[in-house]
Amino acid sequence: MTHFVASDTLLDHDRPDASTAIRTVLFLAVLALMWISLHPYPSLEDAPAPTSDGGDKLNQIVFSGMFVALLAWTYFNKADGLRLLLRPALVAMLAWFAISIVFSWEPALALRRFVFAVIVLTLCGITLLLPKNLRHFSDLMAVVALAVLALCYLGVVFFPANAIHHATDFLEPEHDGSWRGIFAHKNQAASMMVMLFFIGLFVARARSRGLGALIIVLSLVFLVFTRSKTPIGMFPLAMIVAAIVTNARKPMVGISVALGVGIVLNLFTVGSVYIDPIRQVLDAVMSDSSFTGRTDIWKFAIGELGGGRLITGYGFGAFWGTEQVVFGLSGSGTWATAATDAHNSYLNIALTTGLPGLLLACIWFAVLPLSDYYRIRDDGNVQPLATLFVQMLIYGLYVSVVEGMMFQQGGEIWFTFMLAVFGLRYLSAARIRS
């Protein structure tokens, strides 16, 4: 990532060599693993596997192997840039998450998910060190973006049973007809299409207008056919706020707008469960003010959080789908005990790691990255890349209001969001050092 800062490397045409080939293969392998996964086109006709089982063995083996491979590359290439990510907020957040494991009612599950989260964070950090310059990065992003789009469209045409929602789906048959491509849910597909749209804009600015336009068109068409209302609704809002952030003269104005909109979104979603004036406004302007049943989940989650777990939570990643929730709390009179997550990332983090965990996480992935941007925005050499990261960051922050994507196990949106968080940190640190 630090290579992107030097103006003399932005347009160079390095001859292909072994080092570049290794960097390319590793970058493509990681992005394919995170965005395409080991299980594309999953069938939704069967019940999901229990949360408390041993996890996906193939995923564990492949992720562990990729982790070792990237660590080896870092060691032999003396790529010490990874330590730039170890800012106090991240260290404090991970330390608190680890503490929450001790108080978990499923410590083994919480520990396994915590270790996996650290592995994914490390993979993301090293992946951004692999491209040799801005041109190389844009080429690689374009290749993976087009591969994802091609697989999604091929799935719709040739494997519709596994690329489109159907009435035979075990959990949500009401989504019949919505496209999901290689992903497990239309909301995942929609959010990923928005991220690919941002990548298309970046490629058009930094590399090729034609190639960027192709990515933009393909992602927008697929986005429409996902029929995913909330991710689509957050799309223009994120674009507008990103434009405000990137054009604000005073950093405090841009940061305040970005964070303020996020707070308002949470108030008008989760807050509507308990704030009557907000509920009345939503009832007047929305045909479904329950956000497709999410209010029941939010009310249940807030109730459980307030039941003596405000500080420690229930253990990192160890609440939804556990036997204690599915069976132990099934008599609570709500169907929300069968939910897979809180459908709000902030509530998920608070529920599993307590309010201190939520505060530390928000500082790390919201406040600090926005501050990082204002250290680099005047550098024209990296402006297209910085803008891409800001767009990804803000969309991730806002879609998290209605989706539990933060710290998701192998989640493609979460990984893309982290690329933005770490990317802004790398660019900022490199600017300070130079």
In the chain, where the domains are located:
21-40+49-130+247-433, 131-227
Output 195 or 338, whichever has higher pLDDT.
195
- Taking the CA atoms of 181, 184, 186 and 190 in sequence, report the sign of the dihedral they define: negative
Structural contact between residues 238 and 391, judged by C-beta atoms closer than 8 angstroms: yes
| Range name among 2-16, 18-32, 290-304 with the lowest pLDDT average | 2-16
Question: How far is 323 from 302, CA to CA, in rounded Å?
Answer: 19
Output 274 or 265, whichever has higher pLDDT.
265
Confidence at 284, pLDDT banded by 50, 70, 90: confident
- Give whole-number Cα distances, 220 to 16, 32, 149, 155, 429, in Å: 34, 21, 11, 17, 34
Q: With the CA atoms of 403, 409, 413 and 416 taken in that order, what torsion angle do they form, in degrees rounded to the nearest 10? A: 140
Structural contact between residues 342 and 348, judged by C-beta atoms closer than 8 angstroms: yes
pLDDT at 432 over 80: no
Q: pLDDT, tens digit, for every residue of 316-364?
A: 988 877 777 766 665 565 767 777 788 899 999 999 999 999 999 999 9
Structural contact between residues 230 and 401, judged by C-beta atoms closer than 8 angstroms: no
Q: pLDDT, tens digit, for every residue of 120-148?
A: 999 999 999 999 999 999 999 999 999 99
Q: In sequence order, what are the residues at sequence separation of 6 or more whose Cβ sits closer than 8 angstroms to the Cβ of residue 301?
A: 336, 342, 344, 347, 348, 351
First and final CA of the chain: distance in angstroms? 13
Query: DSSP state, 322?
Result: S
Residue 113, SS3? helix
pTM of the model: 0.92
Query: DSSP state, 164?
Result: B
Q: What is the mean pLDDT of residues 424-429?
A: 92
pLDDT at 300 over 90: no
Confidence at 10, pLDDT banded by 50, 70, 90: very low
